[in-house]
Structure 1
């Protein structure tokens, strides 16, 4: 009896947690179809706010800037994080390894205000040297986002590399493959789920960032969080609800694609292992 009560209590707490997390999001999506300008008063079904959203060129432009920056940030973060993870997991002992690991993971515990301010000071002092100067925009936002998202992706990929069976790589090298071929043929397919997870994490963090982007951006570039933050101070517009609904759908679609890719890769890997065991 006590086990049944514990099971019911666990399910109840789980349901309460899901309601707490997703009820506000569901409410936002429902009120994006509200005809009234008041975002908390339902007056009928309408899609006019979606039409007005696409007529707002500034909001659409900010969303497009955020998507572009997030995409390229995720791609660069995965490449750099993979290199960093390989160095920390494959190169057991090299001078400065502890310092290198600390520098890689520092953004995890660093307040975003400090990170943003330090990046701003870097661009101000080094801008004329590297050709940026006062023209801060998408490039500087991208550099700033790669800097702090790479730390999160490195942790994800390092954990997967640490669990990787090294005997598979050693067997491939015994058969004549060089290290580069072993990485692309053996290591990369195995850690592909971690790469996808890291890419999605970096994309989400970049798309959501407000503080660091505020320091790194210039007057010619505005990201979506910055635009939304400046808009809600004057009152929440139903267009923001419509925009948030579209962004939620995009993120859900990206997550589903990532899950499908990882599931397919895992099934293929298990099938290859079974075939190898049968042949052996």
Structure 2
């Protein structure tokens, strides 16, 4: 192994250690039999049992789940349409409109949405405003994935369908949608993952009302980082990891299918 390779491996190990050791500590101390979390005392599942009996935390989790499901559904529908439009019409303004929320800093997007809801729409902040905000920044992620799938498809398939007398709706329903379905599902899972653990945009668009999981965790941390906070963080981390793995596998299959069609 050359000297430059050793340096690269050392830098990679340090970077991954910096990222994952704190996460491992959070998971480990969620099983710690001590409220202070100053040192390891012993193994226990008490904090997970306490979490399941915490009505406010369960309400926050339910609200976050409703928001994530609603936002991911809306973003998947609109993002798929946006991906199709960008691929088909080749207008330079469309990618700018769709992908700007993705590139924009979250704090700027949160403030702009807050001002838009209050000063333009005169909308009372709550669950609806959060769903609209989450849908706004998730659309671009779905559009990117769907567009990547469409770019690898053979356009002669759609031309053949039209030559055989299929209407645009029939072509979309019977040919386009089944072919892009892995990308659509991957985009939906990605949107769900981004929505359920988003803090910055949720913080600006929440208002005063029912608790939301990321905000609830932040409120608990301001008092002390108890094992109960570690427990809910571990469960949220596990849910996010599962969604990312599923979305990654679907996107890998999507890219393989696109590559296979491009090579024909």
Give the TM-score band, short-chain normalised: 0.7 to 0.9
CA positional deviation for 1:241:
0.8
Partner of 2:239: 250
| More moved, 64-73 vs 171-180 | 171-180
Contact preservation (8 Å) 2:183, 2:250: no
Partner of 2:81: 83
Contact preservation (8 Å) 1:145, 1:212: yes
Question: What's the RMSD between the two structures over aligned residues?
Answer: 2.8
The 5-angstrom pairing of residues 1-280 of structure 1 reads: 16-92=14-90, 97-128=91-122, 133-134=123-124, 136-258=125-247
Q: List per-residue Cα deviations over 1:64-98 (Å, max 9, x = no partner).
A: 21121111111111110111111111123xxxx33
Length, aligned pairs only? 261
Flag the 1:169–1:107 CA change in 2: closer, same or farther, 3 A.
Answer: same
Contact preservation (8 Å) 1:208, 1:225: yes
Q: List per-residue Cα deviations over 1:135-165 (Å, max 9, x = no partner).
A: x211110001111111222122212212221
Flag the 1:20–1:197 CA change in 2: closer, same or farther, 3 A.
Answer: farther
Q: Structure 2: how far apart are the matches of 1:200 and 1:11?
A: 32
Q: Structure 2: how far apart are the matches of 1:157 and 1:30?
A: 38
CA positional deviation for 1:215:
1.8
Q: Secondary structure at the match of 1:115?
A: helix
**TM-score, structure 2 normalization:** 0.85
Flag the 1:201–1:265 CA change in 2: closer, same or farther, 3 A.
Answer: closer
Structure 1: runs of 5 or more not aligned: none
| More moved, 248-257 vs 43-52 | 248-257
**TM-score, structure 1 normalization:** 0.81
Q: Structure 2: how far apart are the matches of 1:110 and 1:231?
A: 29
Q: List per-residue Cα deviations over 1:87-110 (Å, max 9, x = no partner).
A: 111123xxxx33332222211232
